[in-house]
Amino acid sequence: MRLKNRLIISFFIITLVPVLIFTALMLALRRLAIELTENQLLGHQIIYSVKSYLDESGKFDQMVLNFCVAEFIILFLTAVLMIIWIYKGVAPQLKMLKVAANNIKEGNLDFSVASAGVDEMSELCNAFEDMRIRLKNNAKDRLEDEAEQRALISNIAHDLKTPITAIKGYAEGMLDGVADSPEKREKYIRTIYNKANEMNTLINELTLYSNIDTNKIPYNFQKLNLHNYFSDCIEELGMDLENQHIRLDYSNFVDPDVLIIADPEQLGRIIHNIISNSVKYMRADVPSKIAIVIKDVGDFVQIEITDNGKGIATHDLPYVFDRFYRADASRNSAAGGSGIGLSIVKKIIEDHGGKIWVTSKENEGTTMCFVMRKYEESPIVS
């Protein structure tokens, strides 16, 4: 039943029922007063008074009628006011919710049903508003995801196209007999092999990224001694970088017995991805340097990796941890990459409860900083 009809029925019940009850009561008293004798009436004050009114012919009936009319008028006016008051308090919000529900049905989420009141209807409107905001955010996330998927496809297409074009070109060269000496043939085959390897690395990176992103890689968290871990790591890195004529400086200001909880393989991936960026975006005009500094910052250890490479433009800085983001300069440069290295780094660090940020100046260099929580043995309280 509609609210309006319900209120009209309530209105008649409120105004008529008391009048009918009163009339029935008066008729019963009247009957008693007629039927009972003087003696029987002794001690029944009300019925006695009714009888004395009845004796003055017509006075009782007139009084009952007047009372009924007065009661009806009072109840009528009170009920009208109350029903208008209730209807006005509920109807606008109900109308608003109806419009809102229709908007949602049509897919329009740009409206507001927030209410400043504290009554149940306002609570309902606010709950509806929360639902609308959540739906809108979900729709926005979905659009972003779709845009990301499109970016992913176009990035993969772009990154796979370069090695594939090279492979195709060298294979055609061989088919056309351009590689007419064993040395040339070997060179062509080696290039095809290297390009296929590039594609393999890219596909592995993409698979790793999608696995990490969907939490399909289980972490193998362990207590790691920071000193020992980095000593081994620096030894390996140092040799690698020395072969590429890059100087590596290392300083560790953390107590030798400090432990962290981390997955050693994934921590290695973090360092590898950051260092490989430093190597990839080096400048040709200065001797290349990379410095790793580890500091104690209370409950955390802070690892800073600084290079003196090309740096990142200020307008690119906020986005370098986004998936598939490559600064313009590097997108156009010959340096390969799909722009997922740092997003993998960020995800792994956040899964370890840490944080990463970057500072950089174009043509001066870049510093990647990240923190990881120290492992504290909690004292056993007895």
Ligand X SMILES: Nc1ncnc2c1ncn2[C@@H]1O[C@H](COP(=O)(O)OP(=O)(O)OP(=O)(O)O)[C@@H](O)[C@H]1O
Q: Is 308 in the site for ligand X (CB under 6 A)?
A: no
In angstroms, what CA-CA distances link 172 with 88, 180, 374?
82, 13, 57
Per the structure block, which two tokens stand in for 19? Answer: 């009048």
- Residue 354 or 365 having the CB closest to ligand X: 365
Q: Is 341 in the site for Mg ion (CB under 5 A)?
A: yes
- Residue 48 or 319 having the CB closest to ligand X: 319
Q: Where are the alpha helices (DSSP H) in the chain?
A: 3-35, 38-41, 45-55, 59-105, 120-175, 182-213, 226-243, 264-280, 328-332, 341-351
Q: Identify the residue among 15, 26, 330, 356 touching ligand X (CB under 6 A).
A: 330
Q: Is 267 in the site for ligand X (CB under 6 A)?
A: no
Question: How many CB atoms neighbour CB 205 within 10 A?
Answer: 17
Give the one entry of Mg ion, ligand X, none that residue 159 binds, where binding means its C-beta sits below a cut-off of 5 to 8 angstroms depending on kind: none
Q: Is 64 in the site for ligand X (CB under 6 A)?
A: no
Is residue 367 within 8 Å of 309, Cβ to Cβ?
Answer: no
Is residue 229 within 8 Å of 267, Cβ to Cβ?
Answer: yes
Q: Is 309 in the site for Mg ion (CB under 5 A)?
A: no
Separation of CA 153 from chain center: 24
Phi first, then psi: what are they for 240, rounded to 5°?
A: -55, -50
CB of 213 to Mg ion, least distance (A): 16
- Residue 277 or 302 having the CB closest to Mg ion: 277
CB of 327 to Mg ion, least distance (A): 11
Give the Cα separation of 267 and 350 in Å (integer): 12
Q: Is 370 in the site for ligand X (CB under 6 A)?
A: no
CB of 322 to Mg ion, least distance (A): 13
- Residue 230 or 281 having the CB closest to ligand X: 281
Q: Is 163 in the site for ligand X (CB under 6 A)?
A: no
10 Å CB burial of residue 156 (0-12, 13-18, 19+) is: middle
Round to the nearest angstrom and report the end-to-end CA distance of the chain: 67
Per the structure block, which two tokens stand in for 34? Answer: 């007629």
- Residue 26 or 356 having the CB closest to ligand X: 356
CB of 274 to Mg ion, least distance (A): 8
Q: Is 326 in the site for ligand X (CB under 6 A)?
A: yes
Contacts (CB under 6 A) with ligand X, residues 220-259: none
Local structure of 124: helix, strand or coil? helix
Which range in 142-150, 202-210, 335-343, 344-352 contacts Mg ion by CB under 5 A?
335-343
- Residue 26 or 349 having the CB closest to ligand X: 349
Q: Identify the residue among 277, 288, 302, 308 touching ligand X (CB under 6 A).
A: 277
- Residue 132 or 326 having the CB closest to Mg ion: 326
Question: How many CB atoms neighbour CB 244 within 10 A?
Answer: 9
Q: Site map for ligand X, 181-220, x if CB under 6 A?
A: ------------------------x---------------
Q: What is the CA radius of gyration of the chain?
A: 42
Q: Is 309 in the site for ligand X (CB under 6 A)?
A: yes
CB of 246 to Mg ion, least distance (A): 16
Q: What does the DSSP assignment read for 288-339?
A: -EEEEEEEEETTEEEEEEEE-SS---TTTGGGTTSTT---HHHHHSS----S
List contacts with Mg ion (CB under 5 A). Answer: 277, 341
Residues found near ligand X in the complex (CB under 6 A)? 205, 277-278, 280-281, 307, 309-312, 320, 325-327, 330, 337-343, 366
